[in-house]
Amino acid sequence: MQFLSLLLRNRLAAAGGVVLSLVLLLALVTPLLPLANPDVTDTANRFLMPGEQGHWLGTDHLGRDLLARLLHGTRLSLAVGFAAAFFAAFFGAAIGIIAGYFGGRTDNLIMRGVDMLMAFPYILLALAIVAALGPGLTNALIAVAAVNVPFFARNIRGVTVGLAHKEFVDAARLAGLGHTRIILTEILPNVIPVIVIAMSTTIGWMILETAGLSFLGLGSQPPQADLGSMLGEARGALITNPHTSVVPGAMILVIVMSINLLGDGVRDALDPRLRSGALTRPMPATRVERKGTIPAEGEGGAVLNLRQLQTQFHVKNRIYKAVGGVDLKVAPGECLGVIGESGSGKSVTALSVMGLVASPPGVITGGAVYFQGQDLVGAPYERLRALRGDKVAYIFQDPLATLHPLYKVGDQLVEAIRVHHPVSRSEARARAVALLKQVRIPNAESRIDSYPHEMSGGMRQRVGIAMALANDPEVIIADEPTTALDVTVQAQILSLLDDLRRERGLAIIFITHDFGVVAQLCDRVAVMYAGRIVETGPTAAVLRAPAHPYTSRLIACVPELGGGRRRLEAIPGLPPAVDRLEPGCAFAPRCLKASAACREGDIALEGPGARAVRCIHPEAELEEGVA
């Protein structure tokens, strides 16, 4: 069970679990133990110290055996605490689900009632309930459960509201299920984890509250012992005979602490977002662990020059070699296409440039990234931060995920500018309008005050491009910027990027999985497979005579308009898992030409001039490419 192993990995929670189990076990077997009768008084032996006359923990002010009272009291306190938590959770969840599911007036009525209950201070409300019902343990239980119902109701209502309009609930309704069935089969399973979490974090509280009521004499009535009433009775002898208070006090501490530690652990283990280690905050720049650096030879006027870059993910004892030694460079005004199937390491390569791969688990294990001749791998964070978004800007795939939903796009643009340049707000705003015009957003002056959700996907992506252009970068890295758009908008955005690089001399690294897009936009192309470049060259030369079998099969996957009917060739098989790469060519298992030699040793990326291929059976002779 994954849940248990996750829970046990959390040391504190495991310790809490062990202690709590011991206490529960003791409470369960208490009636079987050879203990003195906890309620028999023996005034001759009042306030015996622990160990005296066979009383292990001594006696209280009436000469009753403290050990016996402690164990019976613990049993009672636990029972009342758990019962209160159960009732509070049951009624609170029921109220919350009904309010959240039906919504509208039902919701309003119920929740305003709950609000009224919540307006009273906790303990005051409990006191009032006990005062009305009369003192006694059962009434204390009712009071504690009642004051906790609003907490559960609010929590569960919030979750239910989010679920009540989900597609699967609508589908169930259309399928003819009644409200009760929907609540029981569709809603309840989704809120149970929340209920369990809320319970595990409040049981400790409820035990404390019950003890509090008993301490005030409103809970368990003499001679019956629970932890709170024991404390209350010992109050008078706090100074003269402290052991009478310490014994029940320590037990309360142990119980509540172990429950809370365990509860926190349960919450962490049940929350799917925390499960994947989201609690560990990523470092501001990717961790670097490399031995020696690689000189920036063959610069050739490039602004950005990646040399033998290696990025891995270290997850537990697995190593995912997402990027396994990549060489790439772009010159000002040039557009380099990086193409490959999904999972081939394109995004990780792009993010490694500015140290944006999340660490943990990402680690840059080798190579160098030269920007204007200076190595960025392992550069101080301040330097990376100054460059990010200023000299090197990114455009990501999903503009809805990259724009903040609660800020107007104009404000986000202004912020992007003012982070890097000390200009006034109005100046930055004027610049933002100019940028929006430049990316051809109609009515830029009014559009600047739109929220991201008020724009279409194509427009949002233009805002993303405007943001990337905000500080006049030298390099733009575009990671599949048009994948989420329809073809007409895609064509507009591609021509926009093309104009921009010609006007401004931008260097663009354009990541895509579509050879059609590469043909339209890119001067050169690098084909990536399993974290390595397998072929590179001027776009026209690669398209005319692809040399790597992978490249030619990728090209064969692109349909041609007006090219007549032909069979589209899908590439059989799947890209390899990067944590189990075999020696030799990673494409060999899917390649029709693969021979034994392909599966042995490293194959070099070689070729004349700008053309190079990593293959021993190339499909075409490499001609020295001319751009």
Scanning 153-161, 188-196, 314-322, 516-524 for contacts with ligand ADP by CB under 6 A, the matching segment is 314-322
- Smallest distance from ligand ADP to CB 574, Å: 11
| Cβ proximity to ligand ADP, 322 vs 336, nearer residue | 322
Q: How many CB atoms lie within 10 A of CB 453?
A: 10
Scanning 78-86, 249-257, 345-353, 598-606 for contacts with ligand ADP by CB under 6 A, the matching segment is 345-353
For position 482 contacting Mg ion by CB under 5 A, the verdict is no
For position 347 contacting ligand ADP by CB under 6 A, the verdict is yes
Q: Which of 38, 340, 452, 473 binds ligand ADP (CB under 6 A)?
A: 340
- Smallest distance from Mg ion to CB 351, Å: 9
For position 512 contacting ligand ADP by CB under 6 A, the verdict is no
For position 394 contacting ligand ADP by CB under 6 A, the verdict is no
Considering only CA atoms, which of 573, 565, 478 is closest in space to residue 517? 478
Spell out, one character per residue from 319 to 358, where the chain touches Mg ion: x when CB under 5 A holds, - when not: ----------------------------x-----------
| Cβ proximity to ligand ADP, 30 vs 347, nearer residue | 347
Token reading at 228: 């709170």
Closest-approach residue to Mg ion (CB): 347
For residue 196, give the 3-state DSSP assignment. helix
Considering only CA atoms, which of 277, 352, 356 is closest in space to residue 309? 352
Q: Are strands 318-330 and 507-512 parallel, antiparallel or unpaired?
A: unpaired
Token reading at 98: 């009904």
Q: How many residues bind Mg ion (CB under 5 A)?
A: 1
For position 481 contacting ligand ADP by CB under 6 A, the verdict is no
- Smallest distance from Mg ion to CB 347, Å: 3
Scanning 338-346, 384-392, 403-411, 610-618 for contacts with ligand ADP by CB under 6 A, the matching segment is 338-346
From CA 542, how far away is CA 537, in angstroms rounded? 6
Q: What one-character DSSP code corresponds to residue 335?
A: E
For position 512 contacting Mg ion by CB under 5 A, the verdict is no
**Radius of gyration, CA atoms only, the chain:** 34
Token reading at 344: 């081939």
Question: CB–CB of 191/99 below 8 Å?
Answer: no
Question: CB–CB of 307/368 below 8 Å?
Answer: yes
| Cβ proximity to Mg ion, 244 vs 347, nearer residue | 347
For position 337 contacting ligand ADP by CB under 6 A, the verdict is no
Q: How many CB atoms lie within 10 A of CB 477?
A: 28
Return left, alpha or beta for 387; rule: phi > 0 is left, psi -120 to 50 is alpha, else beta. alpha
- Smallest distance from ligand ADP to CB 2, Å: 18
From CA 289, how far away is CA 300, in angstroms rounded? 28
For position 139 contacting Mg ion by CB under 5 A, the verdict is no
From CA 205, how far away is CA 199, in angstroms rounded? 10
Burial zone of 160 (CB within 10 Å; 0-12 exposed, 13-18 middle, 19+ buried): buried
For position 532 contacting ligand ADP by CB under 6 A, the verdict is no
Scanning 121-129, 343-351, 386-394, 598-606 for contacts with ligand ADP by CB under 6 A, the matching segment is 343-351
User: 315 touches which of Mg ion, ligand ADP, none (CB within 5 to 8 A by kind)?
Assistant: ligand ADP
* Residue with tokens 């059989």, as numbered in its chain: 572
For position 517 contacting ligand ADP by CB under 6 A, the verdict is no
Scanning 231-239, 335-343, 588-596, 610-618 for contacts with ligand ADP by CB under 6 A, the matching segment is 335-343
Contacts of 206 (CB under 8 A, 6+ apart): 81, 84, 85, 88, 144, 145, 148
Scanning 182-190, 264-272, 339-347, 593-601 for contacts with ligand ADP by CB under 6 A, the matching segment is 339-347
Q: Which of 73, 150, 228, 361 binds ligand ADP (CB under 6 A)?
A: 361
Contacts of 9 (CB under 8 A, 6+ apart): none
User: 345 touches which of ligand ADP, Mg ion, none (CB within 5 to 8 A by kind)?
Assistant: ligand ADP
Q: How many CB atoms lie within 10 A of CB 158?
A: 14
Spell out, one character per residue from 562 to 601, where the chain touches ligand ADP: x when CB under 6 A holds, - when not: ----------------x-----------------------
- Smallest distance from ligand ADP to CB 341, Å: 7
| Cβ proximity to ligand ADP, 323 vs 542, nearer residue | 323
For position 280 contacting ligand ADP by CB under 6 A, the verdict is no
From CA 256, how far away is CA 238, in angstroms rounded? 22
Considering only CA atoms, which of 475, 484, 470 is closest in space to residue 438? 470
Q: What one-character DSSP code corresponds to residue 388?
A: B
Spell out, one character per residue from 441 to 460, where the chain touches Mg ion: x when CB under 5 A holds, - when not: --------------------
For position 313 contacting ligand ADP by CB under 6 A, the verdict is yes
Token reading at 42: 């023996």
Considering only CA atoms, which of 204, 230, 262, 189 is closest in space to residue 70? 230
- Smallest distance from ligand ADP to CB 572, Å: 19
| Cβ proximity to Mg ion, 259 vs 530, nearer residue | 530
Question: CB–CB of 368/337 below 8 Å?
Answer: no
Considering only CA atoms, which of 59, 58, 208 is closest in space to residue 123? 208
Q: Which of 80, 89, 266, 348 binds ligand ADP (CB under 6 A)?
A: 348
Q: How many CB atoms lie within 10 A of CB 173?
A: 14
Q: Half-sphere exposure of residue 469, counting CA atoms within 13 Å on the CB side?
A: 24
| Cβ proximity to ligand ADP, 265 vs 481, nearer residue | 481
- Smallest distance from Mg ion to CB 554, Å: 16
From CA 328, how far away is CA 525, in angstroms rounded? 10
| Cβ proximity to Mg ion, 77 vs 347, nearer residue | 347
- Smallest distance from ligand ADP to CB 322, Å: 3
From CA 529, how far away is CA 317, in angstroms rounded? 24
Q: Which of 37, 138, 280, 342 binds ligand ADP (CB under 6 A)?
A: 342
Contacts of 62 (CB under 8 A, 6+ apart): 41, 42, 43, 46
| Cβ proximity to Mg ion, 156 vs 533, nearer residue | 533
For position 536 contacting Mg ion by CB under 5 A, the verdict is no
- Smallest distance from Mg ion to CB 397, Å: 7
Q: Half-sphere exposure of residue 50, counting CA atoms within 13 Å on the CB side?
A: 10
For residue 364, give the 3-state DSSP assignment. strand
- Smallest distance from Mg ion to CB 339, Å: 11
- List of residues contacting ligand ADP (CB under 6 A): 313, 315, 320, 322, 340, 342-348, 361, 578
- List of residues contacting Mg ion (CB under 5 A): 347
